[in-house]
Amino acid sequence: MKQKISAKAPVIGGKQYHIECGSGDVAPFVLVPGDPARVGKIASLWDSAREVANHREYHTMTGKFQGVPITCTSSGIGGPSLAIAVDELCRIGVDTFIRVGSTGGIQKGQKIGDLVISTAAVRLEGTSKDFVIPEYPAVASYEVVMALIEAAEELKVRYHVGITASTDTFYTGQGRPAYENYFPSFKEHVLDDMQSAGVQNFEMEAATLFTMASIFGKRAGAVCCIIANRVTDEFRIDDEMQKRAGLVASRAVAILHGWDKKKKFRKKDYLYPGVLT
């Protein structure tokens, strides 16, 4: 008899419908780049890796980094496709998400190739509003933020820490003219406004990730490599530059794994400096 598949939560052959992953396919720690092509590049930094699935924009590889189980799943561009991946990954046991992406830096003193570690995100996108009211904050897990900072320090990588702005569009949403110089008046000052508010960068996924993770009781953070400098009007990208963010995120996973063991040993739910001494 053919098995009935629920339209509410479609699972086919034990696999989540969109990401084509099931229980046991992924680690509790997942790195989330946007571009499917970046998954293999990040996994090449690990001790070992195997492909689990490659469906639509969702490419997944699982392996080990410094002995810790780790997964990388691409999300595609923007909040809508990321929301599907995060939801389905949560259903099969993921606990911690780290977005690994590219970004546009908008503050003085930033350089192409620097990393931005996000503490929170301005919700200039629409996906997160399908989950909760606009006033709900999109905040990264402090544990993930700390692990990313420690990893960047260990690896001697230049980084900046602060609030990110997430948008639904790359052009008008981030203060760039669209095709044929179309530029609606209500977006003309978005870059200036975000700079004045001390926002570090523009990207397109962190707000959705942070909002969902907070609601679902998961940990999430983001580390992005600056490929566009809106202050100096530069744009440059190369594989080695972007691998830097993947290496910092992978090392952060190993750091979090160690901290989690210390919390468990001390029977503590929350990380604080005394737990680590």
With a cut of 90, say whether residue 240 has pLDDT above it.
no
Radius of gyration of the chain (CA): 19
Distance CA 77, CA 117 (A): 19
pTM score of the predicted model: 0.97
115-124 and 159-167 strand pairing: parallel
| Strand, helix or coil for residue 45 | coil
Please give the share of the chain, as a percent, with pLDDT higher than 90: 96
Distance CA 82, CA 32 (A): 9
Check 18, 55, 56, 91 and give the catalytic one: 18
Sort 228 into a burial class: Cβ within 10 Å, 0-12 / 13-18 / 19+: buried
Angle 258-90-60 from CA coordinates, rounded to 5° = 80
Tell me the residue type at 233: D
**Active site includes 176?**
yes
Distance CA 113, CA 102 (A): 9
Residue 11: in which H helix or E strand, if any? strand 11-12
Distance CA 5, CA 186 (A): 45
pLDDT digits (tens, 9 = 90+) for 59-76: 999 999 999 999 999 999
Sort 35 into a burial class: Cβ within 10 Å, 0-12 / 13-18 / 19+: middle
Distance CA 180, CA 157 (A): 39
Split at pLDDT 50, 70, 90, the class of 4 is confident
With a cut of 90, say whether residue 218 has pLDDT above it.
yes
**Active site includes 88?**
yes
Extents of the domains making up the chain:
25-260
Sort 245 into a burial class: Cβ within 10 Å, 0-12 / 13-18 / 19+: buried
Check 230, 244, 251, 257 and give the catalytic one: 230
Taking CB atoms within 8 Å and a gap of at least 24, the contacts of 229-237 are 229/104, 229/105, 229/110, 229/111, 229/112, 230/104, 230/105, 230/106, 230/175, 230/191, 230/202, 231/105, 231/106, 231/107, 231/108, 231/110, 234/112, 236/112, 236/113, 237/102
pLDDT digits (tens, 9 = 90+) for 90-130: 999 999 999 999 999 999 999 999 999 999 999 999 999 99
Tell me the residue type at 115: L
pLDDT digits (tens, 9 = 90+) for 92-101: 999 999 999 9
Check 20, 57, 59, 88 and give the catalytic one: 88
Nearest CA to 143 out of 270, 274, 262, 275 is that of 270
Best CATH choice for the domain 25-260 from the list 3.40.50.1580, 3.40.50.300, 3.30.70.380, 3.40.50.620:
3.40.50.1580
Split at pLDDT 50, 70, 90, the class of 2 is low
